Amino acid sequence: MFTCNHISVGCSDIERSFNFYTNKLGLALLHRWPKMFAVRAGDVRISVFQSDEVASSGNVEIILRTDNIESAKAAVTHNEVTLAQDIIEAPGFMRFFTIEDPDGNVIHIGQYLSDPLEIGG
């Protein structure tokens, strides 16, 4: 019934967030405006906009999919991204680690062990 291919994320500093999503995570830039930009992560568009009402504890949680969790971890830590949580496993479903963007939005980077769109998966 529903699919997700577009996520919107509020931020307090557009340049800091732009650097994080494009340079540190290496996501492909789709569009850029003065107080907003959009990147692509697989089949998902992430629109990031500057807002004065960003909560200090973050505004969204995003799951980015990877085929190799160890390589993904090495890439983000190489880019000086601090892990909020090291690799753990949701048994039989996904291995993932957690990071945060500059505004505290939670990003899980995961390697699925079973199809995330399968019922019971």
In this predicted structure, the answer to whether residue 103 has a pLDDT above a threshold of 90 is no
Q: What is the pTM of this model?
A: 0.76
Residue 60 has a pLDDT of 81
The number of distinct structural domains making up the chain is 1
Distance CA 115, CA 94 (A): 9
Q: Which domain holds residue 79?
A: 6-112
- Write the pLDDT tens digit of every residue in 50-65: 988 776 656 788 989 8
CATH classification at residue 39: 3.10.180.10
The H or E element containing residue 78 is helix 69-78
Position 33 scores a pLDDT of 92
Q: Is residue 102 part of a domain?
A: yes
Mean per-residue pLDDT, 86-115: 91
Burial 13-31 (b: 16+ CB within 10 A, else e): ebeebbebbbebbebeeee
